[in-house]
Amino acid sequence: MATIRDVAKRANVSVATVSRVLNGSPKVSKSAREAVLLARRELGFYLNANAKALAKQDADVIGLVVSDVSDPYFGIMAKECENAAYEKGNSLLICQVFHDQTRERKAIEKLLSHHCRGIVGHFLTLPDEELKSYMELVPSLVLVNRTLEGFENRCVNVDNRYGEKLAVNELINNGHKQIVYIGSTHKILDRIERESGYREAMEEAGLTVDDNYIIEVEPFLEGGAEAANILLSRNLKYTAVACYNDTIAIGLMAELHNHGINVPDDVSIVGFDDLFLSRCLNPPLTTIYHPISLMSRSAVNLSNSLYQGNNYDLPEFRLELIKRNSVKRI
């Protein structure tokens, strides 16, 4: 099945131009419009008909795009989206994309072909401009954990910078000055915001930010284990670690334990997300509560409201420091 990118490539224009042509925007030259329409006919591309159907037909399915439901974060997201959809008399069609750009693109196309009334997506890899084109095509497409300029009212997100500052300040307030930050390799906004929160908290406390103390890994258990081995290989002097998410923190704690390093006696650790597993560790993990459940349900409700042409006021998504036993005062 042809995609919007295929049409853009055939017509030798951008995806955004294809989107504008299909939506009848006057801001397109005559030659570009003709090239797009010709390419669409040649490829048999009818995405726009499907997209417009989202606003017209009596559909009862909501599409969800997530990376991997075996990841606790996305498992919670899928569960809460399913419950929110069910409460509105809808069903949920889930596409797992495993952090792959091609799969993200194909997931949107697939959900459109199923005439979903709306789509909720956690997109890690699609470029902003391409995602904006899909947002223009699909009026009930809602993003979770990503903010897109011009579509802020359809983005369900939190203040990640503030959340990471809460985490790092907890370490600083307990006497820690040599603090490592373990971030994510995924090139999305929350990765940038959380590292910025770490840097700001350190600088505001008058502490030096050394790039050797910033490590980036895949945001999974394996990434946390990798971070532990990087720390050991760099032979850094540190007393605490702030992690991009709980999953990294859990992997980090496990691998450090394998090397005889005790938390919190030898090193203090804070996470981010407040996954259920974090409270079951030994010691339980100090972390930042991330309202994943509320955000997921709100995203579905917002998508439904957009489909119906109604207003929906998003609630406030608050981040909170959850103090447990993985931080030691020094």
The DSSP code for 239 is: S
Per-residue pLDDT at 55 exceeds 50: no
**160-290 falls under which CATH superfamily?**
Response regulator (3.40.50.2300)
Residue 268 and residue 326 in contact, taking contact as beta carbons nearer than 8 Å: yes
Mean pLDDT for the stretch of residues 145-157: 94
What does the chain come to in residues?
330
Per-residue HEC secondary structure of 97-108 comes to: CCCCHHHHHHHH
Per-residue pLDDT at 208 exceeds 60: yes
Per-residue pLDDT at 207 exceeds 70: yes
Is the domain covering 1-46 a CATH 1.10.260.40 domain? Answer: yes
Mean pLDDT for the stretch of residues 151-180: 98
Per-residue pLDDT at 205 exceeds 80: yes
Q: Where does the pLDDT of residue 51 fall: very low under 50, low under 70, confident under 90, or very high at 90 and above?
A: low
Cα 91–Cα 97–Cα 101 angle in degrees, nearest 5:
130
Residue 256 and residue 226 in contact, taking contact as beta carbons nearer than 8 Å: no
Q: Where does the pLDDT of residue 76 fall: very low under 50, low under 70, confident under 90, or very high at 90 and above?
A: very high
Q: What backbone torsions phi and psi does residue 119 show, to the nearest 5 degrees?
A: -135, 130
Output the pLDDT for position 1. 65
CA distance 274 to 288: 6
What sections of 174-245 are H helices per DSSP? 189-204, 221-234
Output the pLDDT for position 50. 47
Q: Which amino acid is at 216?
A: E
Q: Where does the pLDDT of residue 194 fall: very low under 50, low under 70, confident under 90, or very high at 90 and above?
A: very high
Percent of the chain with pLDDT over 90: 74
Residue 302 and residue 142 in contact, taking contact as beta carbons nearer than 8 Å: yes
Per-residue pLDDT at 30 exceeds 90: no
For the chain, how far is it from start to end, CA to CA, in angstroms?
61
Mean pLDDT for the stretch of residues 166-195: 95
Q: Where does the pLDDT of residue 212 fall: very low under 50, low under 70, confident under 90, or very high at 90 and above?
A: very high
The DSSP code for 57 is: S
User: pLDDT tens digits, residue range 280-313?
Assistant: 999 999 999 999 999 999 999 999 999 999 999 9
Q: Where does the pLDDT of residue 47 fall: very low under 50, low under 70, confident under 90, or very high at 90 and above?
A: low
Site of tokens 């895949």: 218
Per-residue pLDDT at 80 exceeds 70: yes
User: pLDDT tens digits, residue range 227-244?
Assistant: 999 999 998 999 999 999
Residue 273 and residue 179 in contact, taking contact as beta carbons nearer than 8 Å: no
Mean pLDDT for the stretch of residues 86-102: 95
Residue 168 and residue 194 in contact, taking contact as beta carbons nearer than 8 Å: no
Per-residue pLDDT at 72 exceeds 70: yes
Mean pLDDT for the stretch of residues 185-205: 94
Q: Where does the pLDDT of residue 38 fall: very low under 50, low under 70, confident under 90, or very high at 90 and above?
A: confident
Output the pLDDT for position 275. 96
Mean pLDDT for the stretch of residues 191-209: 97
Output the pLDDT for position 24. 67
Q: Which fold has domain 60-156+292-317?
A: Rossmann fold (3.40.50)
Output the pLDDT for position 83. 98
Could you check whether 1-46 and 160-290 share the same CATH topology? no
The full set of domain ranges for the chain reads 1-46, 60-156+292-317, 160-290
User: pLDDT tens digits, residue range 247-274?
Assistant: 999 999 999 999 999 999 999 999 999 9
- What tokens were used for 229? 């081995």
Q: Where does the pLDDT of residue 46 fall: very low under 50, low under 70, confident under 90, or very high at 90 and above?
A: low
Residue 326 and residue 284 in contact, taking contact as beta carbons nearer than 8 Å: yes
CA distance 315 to 2: 38
What mean pLDDT value characterizes the chain? 92
- What tokens were used for 235? 């032979």
92: left (phi over 0), alpha (psi -120 to 50) or beta: beta
Residue 237 and residue 61 in contact, taking contact as beta carbons nearer than 8 Å: no
